[in-house]
A = this chain, B = another copy of it.
């Protein structure tokens, strides 16, 4: 079972570095120190191993998102924390993250693919999380009350994606800076009273 993990790890590295098509099953197997048939024994196809990687990353991201929900601070603080959580995720799983945002979309075209479904679900969850924050923030007079909730939420989600998609390997300084500016940018756009 330890070889299965090795295969997943190696495959992740390759997919992030070279894309799905340019990575061959033979490369993965050789790098993992096993033979190709073993790869097909553990995952039933090349797509199979790719999907397993995608599933793992989504499971992880969702669980982090669930934790956020429980914090009961001001609404903007929740959004702020979302940005930082997103950044932590990138730092913890850089390859997976890059695969998900940059490799995945260009590979998979049929709408019913498991990856698409999960990605859509992720976007929806993120959007509804942010929508919730904005709605509540307006209600309690924290945010401008003329903000169009839904589309504004989508824009913030786009920003989160935009940060993830910066090309791998990531430069951490740059990411930190981008997150900070994004938060400031949103703060000015959303908050009724901002410190300036």
Q: Which residues of A approach B to under 8 Å, CB–CB?
A: 17-22, 102-103, 105-107, 109, 144, 146-148, 151-152, 154-155, 158-159, 161-163, 165, 167, 177-178, 180-182, 184-186, 188-190, 196
Q: Are A18 and B109 in contact (CB under 8 A)?
A: yes
Q: Are B167 and A158 in contact (CB under 8 A)?
A: no
Q: In the complex, which residue of chain B has the Cβ closest to the Cβ of A103?
A: B106
Q: Are B184 and A148 in contact (CB under 8 A)?
A: yes
Count identical subunits in the complex.
4
CB distance from A154 to the nearest CB of B (A): 7
A107 partner residues in chain B, CB cutoff 8 A: 19, 106
| Assembled-state Cα–Cα distance A46/B102 (Å) | 22
Q: Are A151 and B167 in contact (CB under 8 A)?
A: no
Q: Are A155 and B167 in contact (CB under 8 A)?
A: no
CB distance from A18 to the nearest CB of B (A): 6
Provide a sorted-by-A list of 26 A–B residue pairs whose CB atoms are within 8 angstroms.
A17-B109, A19-B107, A19-B109, A21-B21, A102-B105, A103-B106, A105-B106, A105-B165, A106-B107, A144-B188, A144-B196, A146-B196, A147-B188, A152-B181, A152-B185, A154-B178, A154-B181, A155-B178, A158-B159, A158-B162, A158-B163, A159-B162, A165-B165, A185-B189, A186-B189, A188-B190
